[in-house]
């Protein structure tokens, strides 16, 4: 329920709802779609063609191609690269119209079976330390199946409106007179989406979606990008916890692990919110936090003999609400180098 959600999750709900509405309405309002009948794009209510005309000179054709295709494409790719470099799969967790479906079906399946997926072996606890309480009831399977079929049908019909005039598609749907090809397209996509949403939605998000995979690869290359960081010095506070942070993750990841194990993190921050709720009842200081710059190195550059020295202020109370601290770059020193320096000093002493 929204009343129990954090401010962050309420913001996510607003962003995701708005983008999902845009996904459905963009073709209807001629904001963005491809018209197979006219064989060109429609963008912001206007035809978007490449300006190819036999009457134009070679220079004019090249110039039009650059302005109408390569420049917009380059700008789009640059923005996507920058966002992924800084914040990872931010699009997936905050905008992608597929991810809200993943989370919704996770929630329904948990109510039906106590698990987030049909492939999970163990059930989640009915009552968690973060305050979440869900008693599984098999009757929820009926709701789950209906929702999966309904959403799959909506997705199938919506995708077809990106290729053919929405007025024609929705008119034929309401009138019950879809053409043979239109019926085959919607029926096939509905079946495929139903199978994917039921049995492979997490696998698709992790490795099947080219956009998500590319975001992860770019994000992994930046060791100072935003990550879910874990306050290791206070790890003892996790001893009696029921792993509420792991249960909250819609991608079924383990938030207290290293960055390479969080390859498909969508930056939804649900694990951070769960940890805050648990620690509010205990120490008052959350052990998980979204951090970047030098504060992120403990998660992104740890392992294989490297143990970065992360400034203590990253998790201090004075840094509450901030994703990084005003730390000097020289404070990052791998343990091997630090031990080498100490040994050299002792030898000289």
Above 50 in pLDDT, residue 34? Answer: yes
**pLDDT tens digits, 110-139:** 999 999 989 888 898 888 888 889 899 999
| Of 263, 328, 343, 345, the residue nearest 299 (C-alpha) | 263
Report which DSSP code applies to 238.
G
C-alpha–C-alpha distance, residues 143 and 103, integer Å: 15
Above 60 in pLDDT, residue 336? Answer: no
What is residue 333's predicted lDDT score, i.e. its pLDDT? 46
Above 80 in pLDDT, residue 325? Answer: no
CB 99 within 8 A of CB 209: no
pLDDT tier at 38 (50, 70, 90 boundaries)? Answer: confident
Element containing residue 170 per DSSP (H, E): helix 166-175
Name the phi and psi angles at 327, rounded to 5.
Answer: -110, 145
| Three-state secondary-structure class, residue 290 | strand
Report which DSSP code applies to 88.
S
Cα dihedral sign, 278-282-288-290: positive
pLDDT tier at 102 (50, 70, 90 boundaries)? Answer: very high
Above 50 in pLDDT, residue 217? Answer: yes
Report which DSSP code applies to 288.
E
| Of 185, 205, 101, the residue nearest 144 (C-alpha) | 101
**pLDDT tens digits, 139-196:** 999 999 999 999 999 999 999 999 888 998 999 998 888 899 999 999 999 999 999 9
Above 50 in pLDDT, residue 347? Answer: no
- End-to-end CA distance of the chain: give it in Å, rounded: 64
What is residue 155's predicted lDDT score, i.e. its pLDDT? 94
């Amino acid at each position: 329920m929204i009343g129990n959600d954090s401010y962050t999750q309420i913001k996510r709900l607003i962003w995701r709802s708005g983008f999902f509405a845009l996904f459905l309405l963009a073709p209807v309002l001629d904001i963005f779609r491809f018209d197979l009948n006219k064989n060109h794009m429609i963008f912001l209510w206007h035809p978007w063609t490449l300006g190819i005309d036999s009457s134009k000179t070679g220079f004019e054709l090249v110039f039009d191609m650059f302005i109408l295709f390569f420049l917009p494409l380059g700008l789009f790719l640059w923005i996507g690269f920058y966002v992924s470099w800084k914040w990872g799969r931010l699009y997936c967790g905050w905008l992608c119209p597929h991810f809200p479906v993943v989370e919704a079906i996770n929630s329904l399946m948990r109510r039906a079976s106590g698990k987030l997926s049909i492939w999970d072996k163990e059930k989640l606890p009915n009552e968690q330390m973060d305050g979440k309480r869900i008693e599984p009831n098999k009757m929820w399977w009926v709701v789950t199946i209906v929702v999966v079929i309904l959403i799959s049908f909506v997705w199938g019909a919506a995708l077809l409106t990106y290729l053919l005039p929405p007025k024609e598609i929705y008119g034929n749907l309401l009138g019950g007179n879809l053409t043979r090809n239109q019926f085959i397209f919607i029926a096939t996509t509905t079946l495929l989406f139903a199978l994917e949403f039921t049995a492979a939605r997490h696998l698709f998000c992790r490795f099947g979606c080219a956009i998500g995979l590319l975001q992860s690869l770019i994000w992994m290359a930046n060791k100072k990008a935003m990550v879910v960081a874990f306050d290791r010095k206070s790890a003892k506070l996790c001893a009696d916890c029921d792993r509420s942070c792991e249960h909250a993750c819609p991608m079924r990841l383990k938030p207290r692990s290293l960055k390479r194990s969080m390859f498909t993190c969508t930056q939804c921050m649900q694990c951070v919110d769960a940890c805050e709720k648990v620690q509010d009842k205990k120490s008052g200081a959350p052990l998980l936090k979204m951090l970047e710059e030098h504060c992120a190195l403990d998660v992104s550059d740890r392992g294989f003999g490297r143990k970065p020295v992360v400034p203590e202020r990253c998790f201090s109370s004075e840094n509450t609400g901030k994703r990084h601290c005003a730390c000097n770059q020289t404070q990052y020193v791998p343990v091997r180098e630090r031990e080498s320096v100490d040994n050299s000093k002792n030898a000289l002493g």
